[in-house]
Structure formats: structure tokens, C-alpha cells
Structure 1
Amino acid sequence: MILSNTIFGTSGIRRVFSNYSNEDVMLTPQMALEVGLALGTYLKGDATVVIAKDIRTSALPIEYAFISGLVSTGCDVKTLGIVATPTLAMSLSYLRADCGVVITASHNTPEYIGLKFWNPSGMGYLPDQEEQIERIYNEKSFIKIEWDQVGSVSHVNDINDIHISDITRRIKFDGSKLKVVVDPGNGASCDVVPKLLDEYDVNVMTINAQMDGKFPGRHSEPNKENLIQLSNILNFSKQKDIGIALDGDADRVIFLDENGEIVDPIRLLALLAIDYLKRYKENIPKEKLKVSTAVNSSSLLQDALAPYGCEVIYTEVGDIKVAQALKEPGGFLGGETSGTYIWPRTHLGPDSIATIAKVLRMIAESGKTLRELLKDIPIYPYYSTN
């Protein structure tokens, strides 16, 4: 009798790292090897898989073990190294991949590590896909190959530049008058976000901008408790326009206004949706005039967008659920209270990096501060149940 073991949670596989364990309560290299075999079997050993990782110290052994499992089923692997999750999501269509994998525990504390799988569209794997991989893993029903059928591994060097080029081609503005403080939290976005802002001639100050898997600057989750330093810089300097903070893999981004106050992500989602509608509404099919968000969002989004004829679709919590709604029935923007934003015209994964460009464009073009841009977006009380 084969005992069923649930390895997937709400956002892929995420556990405390251990170099060895007899049980699957922790994520070990042995488990990563067998998950790689299971994914490769699910893909029938005939697929190109793109793999990225964040800066966590345990990402290295998990990556090597996982790749060993994948190539042992015949799959070919392209590695990106340490890059942000949005960059991985963007890369899948560019690299013509069949699947993407991020080795990350997102905003969790440093002892955690995880694996999250992505479809070519940039949307995370759906529950039924994870269930099939989980069944293969539990049954150990891995495909067998011969010695001359082992897959290949190659490295892609310039994917950050490609992501930046894709964003600057679509989103254009002069950022030379903007003064921005960026806090990547020692995470995977330490390189790509300042480099993107340099392309726009933005005046950038960074803190916690050295990649370090121990997160010495602050805890990875960009919440009020962890952003006191950034808030104080904005509040006391009076010469900065906006603060930007990201989590370890940069699927989340939090904005602070010129007074150092955190902007409610749902208020910002409403502002971004209104800006998008003003720019492109005539080109959006009526059936796509929708924004998706999770049920734990406040009703302000619905109230703010109703005058624009825009419907709000409420989903279960999680970026994958929000992305599903954007795919079917359809929509032009999605987001959550955690600070994830999804732009389906490019891909169906959270893209904090493109969102940063869109927010700064609004400020640069209007000549207004973020606080001034938000003045017509209502403030509704929000109570967390975590």
C-alpha cells in the first residue's frame, strides 16, 4: 500500500530546509530530486524547463538535486541563476519553455525554501496539475530512460536585460525628475530594479540592496513592521518622491508615499486600473473590462471602478486564482492585498517590476505625488484575519 503524502500547499512546495530527513516534513535534496523526477515524468520527459532561484542559501543544493531529477527523465533545462520571479514568468514565452520553476520561499523567513511551477503563460500550476505530480511522486512511478537519453543543461545569461528591455519598450516616460528609494530586502531584485530605474534616468537611492540569503537588512515580507527604515527615510528627508519595497523573490511590491506611509495595495490597484482604462479603454473588448482580486480585498475596488463600467471579479486567495479569472472569463488587470499585480497582456504571473514602471510613469507624466494621485481613491478600513 502506498501512503499518500501531500507535498503541495497554497503556493507550490514550501518547507524548512534540511540536508537529510527520513520524512517529507522538510524540503531536502533527496525530496527535490524525486520531485524533479515526478515533474519530468508528468512532462513525459520531452520538455524544456526554465529554472530560476532566489538568494536563499539552501537554493543551491535544492537546485542541483532538482535538475538531476529533471534531466534524468530526458527533459532539457535552462537555468537563469538568481532572478526575480516576475523575470522567470516573463522568460517562459521568450525561451519557448514548456514549464518554469522558481526555487524560492517568497516572503518566508530564511530557513524556508520551496519549489513553485509555472505554465508557459506565466501562470502558476493549477491544483489538478499539482495533484498529478503529487501522485507520481507518492507512487514513485517515474519514467525510465537509457544513458543516452539524459537531458541537457544550459545557462541563459542576459534574461534581466531582456525583461528590462521588454518593459521599457512598452512603458515610456522621462524619470529624470523623480527621486526614489528602493528597498529590495537583500532579495532577488537587488540588481534588476535599480537597473530598470537607471534606464528611465530616475534618481535612485537603495537600502538593503546587497543579495544575502540570510536577509540581514530586514525580514523578507514587506509589511509595516519591516519597512520602518524605509518609512523614516521618506518621512525625514522630504526630498524623495516615493519608496518601493519588495520581498525575497520580488513577486510582491509595496509602495510608500512621499510621507513614508504605506499605500494600501487595493487602493493602488484601483488607481492603476483607472489609469489603464484612461489610456486603453477604447481598445479593450467589452468582455475584458474586468479586474480580478481575491475575496479578502475591500469593496473600494468595486466602488472606484463602477463609474468606468469596469466589473470586479472576486476569487479565492492566491495569485493563481486571480490569474485564472483573468484568463477566463477575462480581464486586463489583477491584484491582491499582498502587493501582487498581474498584467495579462504580457504574462499571467505577478510582475512587480512592470508595476514599478507603471506607477512611476503616472507620477512623472502627471507631475503629482503618489499621495495626490490617490486622493480620489477612497480609503476603506481593512482588518487582517491572519
Structure 2
Amino acid sequence: MRKLFGTDGIRGVTGTELTPEMALRLGRAIGAFFGLGSRVLVGRDVRAGGDMILSAVVSGLLAEGVKIYNAGLIPTPALQYAVREHSYDGGVMVTASHNPPEYNGIKVIDSSGVEVSREDEAIIEDYYFKGYGSRLEWRSLVDSPEVRVGLIEDYVNAIVMQVDRDEIAKHRFKVVVDCANSVSTLTTPLLLRRLGAKVISLNCHLDPEFPGREPEPTPQTLSEASSLVLSSKADIGVGHDGDADRAIMIDDKGQVHWGDRSGTLLAVHASYKWRELPRRVYTGVSSSILIEEYLKQHNITVVWTPVGSVTIARTIMNEGGAIAGFEENGGYIHVPHQYVRDGAMKLALTLDMMASLREKLSDIFAKLPVYYTLKTKIKASREEALCAVEAVKEYYSNYRIITIDGVKV
């Protein structure tokens, strides 16, 4: 079966794999999915070709009689918040998230603000491959896109409402922010100033070539931010990805921490602050087993899911909520805010935790058990990968094995 959607939206090299012709056809498929007269909010990150791809998608949507509202440059979670808060029928975000600058991509969002389900992805793919397109009478075609303003302010204000602003402001935290030259530049520094923090900016000017670093936040790409935390004697550092739905934390000693470690600590903090939430967290199988060991001490159950924020978010929604959902890559879903991963929200919660505990971030991380994670990629065919999975299952057959989305021992 032919596929367009991957783990998190549609991705491809701009101009060769993701062309304006493809984007136009995809826009028509998305428009057919939402339906005639639907109200759809669109936006994009800073990538080269983003306006071209977005314009093509918008043309396809307009051809299907969809009313378009344009948010312009905006982080993915800010657009998702606006879709839900302003009761749009859906949204389209043009972004390739953490991919290199030559890539672009498309995320489709439903009225809940969450990316569409795997089932809905299949419907859109079916429309796309069948070349579906309405032949609307000219009177049914709606006007040009309407520009929306004020969405960034609404989004930042909503995050501030989730935390104890006054308590955070008392500490006047010094924060190094690495915005990866993309759209978190528009939100995270503003949020931090609202919380009374001193902002030390790194790569916080918009540039589609991402000259400061690769857009994926890792210990390697955040080495400069880590050094700046130490030299500036900052309390914390944070690195975002290209569309700002992820955040990787750097403690006051310059140590970069994967998202499953920070997510575990934030889940405990949230469990005491939002006691009405079900005492469980959802995380992809790529996260460390330390989560279970630590959260068990706090009477919090861990539910393992296949990899991907869409799967985690949809599972939480379908199963009645949770304290949180998170991934080792820095994605964190704060359920009281919205059912999507949100880098700025994660940072605000981290400051809230530090202010509440009145401890240095390095001391808070020191409470976690130590597990070592090596992330690597090996090129292999599907058949080779399946053989490797079966071999690992057989070799470790006497151990506890999780067989969701591969194999985990």
C-alpha cells in the first residue's frame, strides 16, 4: 500500500521529493477530507520553500471550497492551540520539524488541535492517490486567505496560566535559549520574559538555512548551548527543534538530558500539582526503562506505546487521559494544556518545578537512576530489520521483552 504519512506527518526534500505539484494535489485531498465550507488555519516554520509549499497547499484547499486563515510564521504547538481554542475545523502546518534545512513537510491537524489519526491519514492518502478533486461552481469558491494576528500572544498567555508565574519570577532564573534559528524565536524568549527570567539568546534569529546548528536538539548539536550555560552561570538551558514542539533541557552544570529523563521528573511534579489526573504516563518504547523504576516509587504507572507523538497523544485521548505523555527526543504532552507535545510548555513546567522544589536542576536530575543510552542508526532492509528483531527476541527469551514497535529488553 502506498504511503505519504510517516511517524509524524509528511516529509521530503523541497523541490524534488516535496514539490509544489504534490503539495497542490495534497491540498485538494486535505480539503476533500475537511469538506466544503470548512474553516482551516494554516502556518509554517522558517524553512526555505515553506511559502511555496504552503501556497500550493492553500490553492488545493481553496479549490475544495475551504475557508483559509493564515497564521504565518508560527510554532506547531501554537498553531495547534489556536485551532482548538478558536474552533477551527482543522489546521495545516508546513514544517519538517528536526530534519535538515533542505527538507520540508506537512502536518494535518483536526479540530481537537491534535494531528489527525492514522485512520484519517489513510483517508487523505486515498484521496491523494485517486486524484480526488471536486469541480465546484465558481460561486462556491471562497475568498483569499484571511490573515490572523495575535495567536502568538494567546498561546504564550495560555502557557503562563498553567504555572505559578509569581513563584517563578521570584527566582529570576537565568536561561540560555537555543532557538535553532527557527520559530521558537517568536515564542520562547517572550514566554521567559513574562515569567520574569533573564534570557540569554543563542541562534534566536530567523534563518532558513539553520546556520547555528542542525535543527534536531541532541547532546552534540547543543554543545555550544551547554558551554554557554556554564560560562554565563545560567540556571538552565533549553534547545528547541525546528517547529518548537520539542525541548531538550541542559542543567546548570552543562549536562544535556534526554527527554525521557526530563519527562519523568515533570510527570512527578505534575502528579502532585494536578492530583485529579489519572496516575499514569504514556511514552514510546524508545524511552529508557528508568521511567518505570523511578515512577513506580511515586505510584505512577507507565504505559508503553509505539514510537510517535501522534500515537501517544491519540492513545491518551482514547484511554481517558493521563498525567503526561513524553518521548526521549524531548517531546512532552502536558495534558491540562493540550494533547500535543509543546516545547515552550515543557520549559515553563521545568521552571515551575525548579521554583517549587527550590533546588538546582542538576540536583533534581541527580535523583534519577543512571542508565546509559546510545542512539544510532543502521541502514537495513525491512527484511533484515525483522530478522534482527526476531534474533533479539530469541536471544533474550528469558528476560522481560516488550514487542511494541520492534523489540525492547
* Runs of 4+ residues over 4 Å off in structure 1: none
Offset at residue 140 of structure 1 (A):
1.1
CA contact (8 A) 2:94 2:106 kept: yes
CA contact (8 A) 1:84 1:249 kept: yes
Residue 328, structure 1, aligned to residue 311, structure 2: no
- Among residues 181, 187, 191, which one is paired with 1:186 in the alignment? 181
Offset at residue 46 of structure 1 (A):
2.8
Residue 88, structure 1, aligned to residue 117, structure 2: no
Residue of structure 2 in register with 1:215 after alignment: 210
Residue 164, structure 1, aligned to residue 162, structure 2: no
Equivalent runs, 1:3-82 vs 2, <5 Å: 5-18=2-15, 26-82=17-73
Q: 1:264 to 1:5 in 2, by over 3 A?
A: closer
Residue of structure 1 in register with 2:389 after alignment: none
Residue of structure 2 in register with 1:381 after alignment: 372
Residue of structure 1 in register with 2:269 after alignment: 275
Offset at residue 385 of structure 1 (A):
4.3
TM-score, length-normalised on structure 2? Answer: 0.88
CA contact (8 A) 1:325 1:331 kept: no
CA root-mean-square deviation: 1.4
Residue of structure 1 in register with 2:295 after alignment: 305
Percentage of identical aligned residues: 31
CA contact (8 A) 1:295 1:317 kept: yes
Residue 107, structure 1, aligned to residue 98, structure 2: yes
What amino acid maps onto 2:248 in structure 1? I
CA contact (8 A) 1:313 1:325 kept: no
Offset at residue 134 of structure 1 (A):
1.0
Deviations, residues 336-357 of structure 1 (Å, cap 9, x unaligned)? 0110001222221111111111
CA contact (8 A) 2:45 2:74 kept: yes
What amino acid maps onto 2:252 in structure 1? E
Of 39-48 and 198-207, the range deviating more from structure 2: 39-48
Offset at residue 5 of structure 1 (A):
4.2
Unaligned runs of at least 5 residues, structure 1 = none
- Among residues 247, 250, 258, which one is paired with 1:256 in the alignment? 250
Residue 98, structure 1, aligned to residue 89, structure 2: yes
The count of residues paired between Structure 1 and Structure 2 equals: 372
TM-score, length-normalised on structure 1? Answer: 0.93
How far apart in 2 are the matches of 1:121 and 1:101?
13
How far apart in 1 are the matches of 2:172 and 2:335?
30
Deviations, residues 32-71 of structure 1 (Å, cap 9, x unaligned)? 1110111111122231111110000110101111101101
Equivalent runs, 1:283-362 vs 2, <5 Å: 283-284=276-277, 288-329=278-319, 330-362=321-353
Residue 228, structure 1, aligned to residue 218, structure 2: no
CA contact (8 A) 1:177 1:203 kept: yes
How far apart in 1 are the matches of 2:35 and 2:258?
44
Residue of structure 2 in register with 1:197 after alignment: 192
